[in-house]
Amino acid sequence: MTCNSGFSAIFVIIIFLNLSPAFGYIIALQETEEHTHQAESEEQNKEFKPGDFIFDHIKDAYDWHILTYKDFHLSIPLPVIVYSKTKGLNVFLSSKFHHGHDSYKGFKIAHEGKYEGKVVELMEDGTDTRPIDLSISKNVFAIFICIILMLWVFISVARVYKNNQGKAPKGLQNFVEPIILFIRDEIAIPSIGEKKYEKFMPYLLTLFFFIWINNMMGLIPIFPGGANVTGNITVTMVLAAFTFVVTAINGNKFYWQEIFNSPEIPFWLKIPLPLVPIIEIIGMLTKPLILMIRLFANITAGHIIALGFFALIFVFGDMQVTLGFVVSPLSILFTIFMTFLELLVALIQAYVFTLLSALYFGMAIAEHH
């Protein structure tokens, strides 16, 4: 009874979150049509571009956008931290850019060119150059939120374990414990072995929950959700690099021997050109590359498809408001379907990344047979 009520509540919340922005936009279109004989702004008459709409929602930003209605913009400004050779260290809020239209202290957000969407420095000769950018962007801020959430969850669960030893788990502990046991029994032990798996459990648990929580938070269209953290290739690159470094540090002599001087390879294949070591090194480097691209591509593709369905309301609504009302139910149904599908993908991608990392660790520490 309680489980069914919980799923029903989640279902209603997801439908509401998907319906609210859609009907809000349609109402805005209707108001615009009712005032067609009045003076309209250039922004209202501008043609809707689905590509810009989609990529504006999945890319990183220097502020956290909350709401836009006509000329009203609501967003949370974030710290911009840039270091320039000419101006030194500069720290200020992104609200100083006035939504990117004005410069501040000789810096601005580029709207075109190779630095589009990034903070650039205005030089005296009229050119733009890229300073050292250490800003707290939307994705970075979302990572901090995820870290705080993870610390709260695991510290709370650890405190409960300490105070209630021997008692049946309940509450948050009852939710987290099966996941931890699953990662231990179905991922770590089979992949690494019973003797050495404990050494890697903290990293595997952190990796799984970090990816899963950020994937789930990215599906929530309102603050503090909506950031496309794992759909940012720099984030997945860092995660893959961590796995690569942990694998390399813990690799035993048999692991490195198989790469550079495998005893199973005939001697004549090792000279004059060491083809086998080259192939092995390439294979060693492509493993984290695969991890990086798989997570980035799956999460980004899911967001693009869901936003594509949602953008149909805007496209048909720009043609005629009535068409927007007609198309919106079907578009919203597909968006809700994709949202539920992404709930599954969010969990699967966290599982796959963790599983592959554990397999790489297992291969690095395996004894010679």
Which tens digits make up the pLDDT trace of 154-169?
A: 998 888 888 877 777 7
- Answer whether residue 233 is part of any domain: yes
Q: In the predicted model, is pLDDT for residue 232 greater than 60? A: yes
Q: Say yes or no: 113 and 231 in one domain.
A: no
Q: How confident is the model at residue 369 (pLDDT cuts 50, 70, 90)?
A: low
Q: In the predicted model, is pLDDT for residue 353 greater than 80? A: yes
Domain that holds residue 123: 79-133
**Inter-axis angle of helices 275-319 and 233-250, to 10 degrees?**
160
Q: Say yes or no: 209 and 247 in one domain.
A: yes
User: Cβ distance 119 to 100 under 8 Å?
Assistant: no
pLDDT, average across residues 255-273:
69
At which of 97, 115, 133 does a domain end? 133
pLDDT, average across residues 86-108:
80
pTM of this structure: 0.80
Q: In the predicted model, is pLDDT for residue 41 greater than 60? A: no
Distance CA 216, CA 178 (A): 18
Q: How confident is the model at residue 368 (pLDDT cuts 50, 70, 90)?
A: low
- Answer whether residue 223 is part of any domain: yes
Q: Say yes or no: 206 and 306 in one domain.
A: yes
- Using alpha carbons only, what angle is made at residue 189 by residues 352 and 353, rounded to the nearest 5 degrees? 15
Q: Say yes or no: 170 and 94 in one domain.
A: no
- Answer whether residue 101 is part of any domain: yes
State yes or no: cis peptide before 224, omega within 30 of 0.
yes
Q: Write the single-letter amino acid at 215.
A: N
At which of 133, 158, 173 does a domain end? 133
Q: Say yes or no: 84 and 191 in one domain.
A: no
Number of domains in the chain: 2
Predicted confidence at residue 268, as pLDDT, reads 66
- Answer whether residue 129 is part of any domain: yes
- Answer whether residue 46 is part of any domain: no
Q: Say yes or no: 290 and 339 in one domain.
A: yes
Q: Say yes or no: 238 and 107 in one domain.
A: no
- Answer whether residue 47 is part of any domain: no
- Which residues, in sequence order, are CB contacts of 91 under 8 Å at separation 6+? 79, 80, 81
pLDDT, average across residues 171-185:
89
Q: Say yes or no: 341 and 212 in one domain.
A: yes
**Percent of the chain residues past pLDDT 90, beyond the cut:** 28
pLDDT in tens, 270-285: 666 667 777 778 888 8
328 versus 141: the higher-pLDDT residue is 141
41 versus 134: the higher-pLDDT residue is 134
CA 156 from chain center: how many Å?
25
- Which residues, in sequence order, are CB contacts of 18 under 8 Å at separation 6+? 221, 310, 332, 335, 336, 339
pLDDT, average across residues 97-112:
76
- Answer whether residue 148 is part of any domain: yes
Q: In the predicted model, is pLDDT for residue 318 greater than 70? A: yes
pLDDT in tens, 289-306: 999 999 999 998 888 888
Q: Say yes or no: 227 and 311 in one domain.
A: yes
- Answer whether residue 190 is part of any domain: yes
Predicted confidence at residue 273, as pLDDT, reads 61
Q: Say yes or no: 194 and 93 in one domain.
A: no
At which of 70, 101, 133 does a domain end? 133
Q: Say yes or no: 128 and 183 in one domain.
A: no
Q: Say yes or no: 341 and 246 in one domain.
A: yes
